[in-house]
Amino acid sequence: DDVAAFRNKGVVPVGMNFTTVALTFLNIASTGSISLLGDSDSREAFVRNFMVTLSKTAIFHNVNALVVDDRFKKLRDCESYGFVRQYTADPAEGLALISDFCDEVRRRKDDDDNDDIILLVINSADLLRKINADKNDSKELALAIKSAAEAGAFIVLSGIDNQPVGFNASELLKAI
């Protein structure tokens, strides 16, 4: 049953529940976003495995991905995956890709004819800190996160600082 479920659009296996020995999944067609906390090696391993799994099951998902990496280019291999539309490790290009993604989410929100899933992977803690510091960028990405599920989009945020979200926190941190 589990294997057949992964042939459904957007259903991606991500692990196993060791108590029940059942596969666990993430539905990128309806969830909207995932924020990864923890040590950087674990976050990057999850994102790499997630992208490899998508590359092997892309035929079922119809995904178009934008990948914004950090300066160490730890997700560089993703650039060669057929479903990755754009990859960058340049911060300026990354901000432009994120802005374009947010615009596309706004456009798609009112369009019921979204056959594909657009995926944004942000694997740069420095860039996320920069977005958090800019009120407009933070608000734009926060709105995209809130609208992602209904717009046929999914956002992976790897590199979020594990910190308390206070009253004066950015819109992005409040949305996460």
Residue 51, helix vs strand vs coil: helix
Output the pTM of the full model.
Answer: 0.90
pLDDT digits (tens, 9 = 90+) for 56-72: 887 788 899 999 999 99
Q: At a CB cut-off of 8 Å and minimum separation 6, what does 82 contact?
A: 55, 58
Spatial CA neighbour of 52 closest among 77, 26, 16, 15: 77
CA–CA separation, 29 vs 119, rounded Å?
A: 10
Which of 6-20, 62-76, 111-125 has the largest mean confidence? 62-76
Supply the pLDDT for residue 171.
Answer: 77
